[in-house]
Amino acid sequence: MQAQTQLTLDLQLKESFTFDNYRVGDNALVLAMLQDVVSESGERQILIWGDHFTGKSHLLQAVCHLAARQSLSVSYLPLAQCMDYPADILQGLESMDVICVDDVQQVAGSPQWQEGLFNLINRVREAGSRLIFTSSLPPNELSLQLEDLRSRLNWGPVLALKTLNDDDKCRALQSRAQSRGFDLPDTVARYILNNYSRDLGDLLGTLEKLDQASLSHQRRLTIPFVKTVFA
Amino acid sequence: MTTTLWGKCLQRLEQELSDQQLNTWIRPLQVIEEASTLRLLAPNRFVLDWVKQHFIEQINHILAQLSQGESIELSLEIGSQQASRQASTSQPPKKQADTPASILQELNQSKPTAPSPQEAISHNLNQTFTFDNFVEGKSNQLAKAASLQVAENSGSGYNPLFLYGGVGLGKTHLMHAVGNKIREANPKARIVYLHSERFVSHMIKALQHNAMAEFKQFYRTLDALLIDDIQFFAGKERSQEEFFHTFNALLEDNRQIILTCDRYPKEIEGLEERLKSRFGWGLPVCIEPPELETRVAILHKKADEFGVELPDEVAFFIGKRIRSNIRELEGSLRRVMATAKFTSKPITLEFAKDTLRDLIALHDRLVTIDNIQKTVAEYYKIRTSDLLSNSRSRSITRPRQVAMALSKELTNHSLPEIGNAFGGRDHTTILHGCRKIVELRESDSKINEDYLNLYRILSN
């Protein structure tokens, strides 16, 4: 939902979120189940949950791409950006083959949205479409007022996405660096991981700062340089 | 690969838009391509407006380039095209006017050939919900018996049949089972099942389109009307009014009404008194959370339906830990089955434990004796310390015994452990307390209600 002016900016950084470029880590099983959603025998409803930066949205986009490639109709709904709108946005979505709803935890505190989602699940069940949810927590830990919604979110498999281990985080940093056109040596990646916040989001932020610093100082990324940047 | 104009346009948009924009706004659009027009169907007004505001110029621009001078007329409308499930582009769109009659029309249109009047489908029941595959246990015995009664004496027995109870306990299943049974005896019976939300939306649409006469005609001539979750009528006065009249008309004609709700009629807030009292006219029956044996039987039944062999010990393991409702039971079972499928491992106890580890840790964490004591004390408005004390006043001993019984039912602690947690009592005291509650729940409806309320609060 960005404004048009941001669009050009997006273009330069545009990375397509697919299953191929998802850093699997310990989540191979979740991946397999999600990929199977588009098949006849796949689950009709799945909820995946996990911390920030476990790649929940990435996976949903990947499902959309996969479904679209198979000529299925799909809809992706980022709830984080929808809460200011009426839950009417959910109307008619059951006519899609696959419906991906991102960040279910957002509806806590909004009776209208909880009822809206509840109704959507009922309609989707009747229509025989597929539903995939992501959430920061499993349904039983979300503060939902509508128990009817909670029980329905538990209807299909509820799967946890595991955070990446250090090796995977290093590789994630390096591949991000690569895609931005610079090299991140192993030793430097380790150093960052061992000395700053290990949250993947923070790490990527750190990387961004380093990229800019190395550009403006015309220096390569070395441990001493990293130290001076964050001194 | 797609060679249609829209297909080419999509390929361009894929390059130009972010994944999120594409998947949120563009991909949900369904398309009908005719000679020189392109009709885009949006699932709702919101998507339509958004696409108009943000993307229509871009789309027009791309189309102009692709069509090389030939003018393409682009239109945006609300609608959906069920045929798009097969990715075909030539069928006319299914109008999205969700009118009452459309419930049955949809069904008839979904048949490959146009049905003759005789074979036109006259119901929209889910035929997989029958009495045969409804797992009976102590918690739902009465509800099942009442439903069977109604199915066999449709319209002339209990009317309305009012099924109430917590979420995910099988109310909807029973409701459809009654409908299906009625149709066994009378295949031409016109039976409509719908969620209360859909009734409300039909009514609003009928009001908007000045079609109230049609609305009334449709609902008042059914042989049976099944409305799910009528608690969502709360606060919707106009719908209640209309439903009240529909209700009366059907009842007068001895047509069957079946309603489900999450609570007893009198307890629905925001519902008119006259409706509450009418809901109580027939037979209100409660479905309670299934006990362990029933949960295990349900798991076996579901596994059977999926053609999966479920060892007893695994069914017991899952049934013991997932107590709140059947949906969650099904979700957990599906997770175990899917994991087995993808790892090509047999479903053993160890495997199930491993697969559901996070879920079980969560349940154990939520339901602790400590938590039970706090919740019970709060419920009865006494202090937690009273529960642990030696006080023998009735106002303390009953809640104490309720808390003991809940601790036994909801946690996996041993009786000596529970005794310890209740101020160092002997495990025989706990056993006595639990038995007492079982007895009292049979004879004292207040205690039974308290127990079930607390059970619901704690296990959700």
Determine whether the interchain pair A7/B17 forms a contact, defined as Cβ–Cβ distance below 8 Å: yes
Q: Report the sign of the C-alpha dihedral through residues A161, A167, A171, A176, in that order.
A: positive
Q: Which residue of B has its CA nearest to A12?
A: B16
What SS3 state is found at A188? helix
Q: Please report residues of B whose CB lies closer than 8 A to that of A95.
A: 30, 43, 80-82, 96
Give A5 to chain B, closest Cα distance, Å.
11
Point out the residue among A36, A140, A152 whose CB comes nearest to the CB of B362: A140
Instruction: Read off the DSSP letter of residue B159.
Output: S
Predicted pLDDT at A136:
92
Predicted pLDDT at B364:
67
Rounded-to-integer distance, Cα B120 and Cα B114, Å:
9
Determine whether the interchain pair B338/A100 forms a contact, defined as Cβ–Cβ distance below 8 Å: no
Q: Please report residues of B whose CB lies closer than 8 A to that of A147.
A: 166-167, 262, 460
Rounded-to-integer distance, Cα B390 and Cα B119, Å:
72
Give A226 to chain B, closest Cα distance, Å.
32
Predicted pLDDT at A194:
79
Tell whether the model's pLDDT for residue B338 goes beyond 60: yes
Predicted pLDDT at B109:
52
CA angle in degrees (0–180, nearest 5) for B74-B76-B79: 135
Determine whether the interchain pair A95/B43 forms a contact, defined as Cβ–Cβ distance below 8 Å: yes
Predicted pLDDT at A113:
94
Would you state the CATH architecture of domain A5-160?
3-Layer(aba) Sandwich (3.40)
Tell whether the model's pLDDT for residue B84 goes beyond 50: no
Predicted pLDDT at B83:
41
Q: Which residue of A has its CA nearest to B57?
A: A4
What would the pLDDT profile of B383-436 be if each residue is shown by its tens digit?
999 999 999 998 999 999 999 999 987 777 778 889 999 999 998 899 899 999
Topology, domain A166-229: Helicase, Ruva Protein; domain 3 (1.10.8)
Give B250 to chain A, closest Cα distance, Å.
25
Determine whether the interchain pair A75/B23 forms a contact, defined as Cβ–Cβ distance below 8 Å: yes
Residues B327-353, mean pLDDT to the nearest whole number:
94
Predicted pLDDT at B88:
38
How far is C-alpha B316 from the geometric centre of its chain's CA atoms?
25
Contact call for residues A201 and A53 (beta carbons, < 8 A): yes
Of the two residues B139 and B98, the one the predictor is more confident about is: B139
Q: Please report residues of B whose CB lies closer than 8 A to that of A156.
A: 331, 334
Rounded-to-integer distance, Cα B435 and Cα B18, Å:
63
pTM of the model: 0.76
Q: Which residue of A has its CA nearest to B196?
A: A119
Determine whether the interchain pair B45/A157 forms a contact, defined as Cβ–Cβ distance below 8 Å: no
B339 interfaces chain A, CB cutoff of 8 Å: yes
Q: Which residue of B has its CA nearest to A37?
A: B338
Q: Looking at this predicted complex, what is its ipTM? A: 0.77
Q: Which DSSP helix (H) or strand (E) runs through A77?
A: strand A74-78
Q: Which residue of A has its CA nearest to B365?
A: A141
Q: Please report residues of A whose CB lies closer than 8 A to that of B82.
A: 95
Determine whether the interchain pair B331/A157 forms a contact, defined as Cβ–Cβ distance below 8 Å: yes
Tell whether the model's pLDDT for residue B92 goes beyond 70: no
Point out the residue among A10, A74, A157 whose CB comes nearest to the CB of B23: A74
Predicted pLDDT at B358:
79
B359 interfaces chain A, CB cutoff of 8 Å: yes
- Give the residue among B47, B149, B429 at the shortest CA–CA distance from A77: B47
Confidence band, pLDDT 50/70/90 cuts, at residue B91: very low
Give A221 to chain B, closest Cα distance, Å.
30
B43 interfaces chain A, CB cutoff of 8 Å: yes
Of the two residues B80 and A50, the one the predictor is more confident about is: A50
Q: Please report residues of B whose CB lies closer than 8 A to that of A16.
A: 19
Strands B191-195 vs B224-228: parallel, antiparallel or unpaired: parallel
What would the pLDDT profile of B278-294 be if each residue is shown by its tens digit?
888 888 999 999 999 99
What would the pLDDT profile of B148-197 be if each residue is shown by its tens digit?
999 998 888 889 999 999 888 999 999 999 999 999 999 999 999 988 98
Residues B103-116, mean pLDDT to the nearest whole number:
51
Point out the residue among A2, A65, A155 whose CB comes nearest to the CB of B331: A155
Predicted pLDDT at B369:
92
Residues B351-371, mean pLDDT to the nearest whole number:
82
Predicted pLDDT at A15:
57
Rounded-to-integer distance, Cα A9 and Cα A16, Å:
15
B168 interfaces chain A, CB cutoff of 8 Å: yes
pLDDT along chain A (231 residues), means of 10: 34 62 84 92 93 85 92 92 88 93 94 93 91 93 89 93 81 84 87 78 83 85 88 78
Residues B70-76, mean pLDDT to the nearest whole number:
87
Determine whether the interchain pair B82/A95 forms a contact, defined as Cβ–Cβ distance below 8 Å: yes
Burial B230-263 (b: 16+ CB within 10 A, else e): bbbbeebeebbebbeebbeebbeeebbbbbbbbe
Residues B98-117, mean pLDDT to the nearest whole number:
54
Residue extents of the structural domains in chain A? 5-160, 166-229
Give B327 to chain A, closest Cα distance, Å.
5
Give A174 to chain B, closest Cα distance, Å.
23
Query: Long-range CB contacts (< 8 A, 24+ apart) of B334-339?
Result: B334/A43, B334/A156, B334/A157, B335/A157, B335/A158, B335/A159, B337/B303, B337/B306, B337/B308, B338/A33, B338/A43, B338/A157, B339/A29
Determine whether the interchain pair A157/B82 forms a contact, defined as Cβ–Cβ distance below 8 Å: no
B19 interfaces chain A, CB cutoff of 8 Å: yes
**Lowest mean pLDDT: which of B125-139, B248-262, B361-375, B433-447?**
B361-375
Rounded-to-integer distance, Cα B43 and Cα A93, Å:
6
Confidence band, pLDDT 50/70/90 cuts, at residue B95: very low
Predicted pLDDT at B98:
65
Point out the residue among B27, B167, B339 whose CB comes nearest to the CB of A74: B27
Name the token pair of A182. Answer: 């610079």
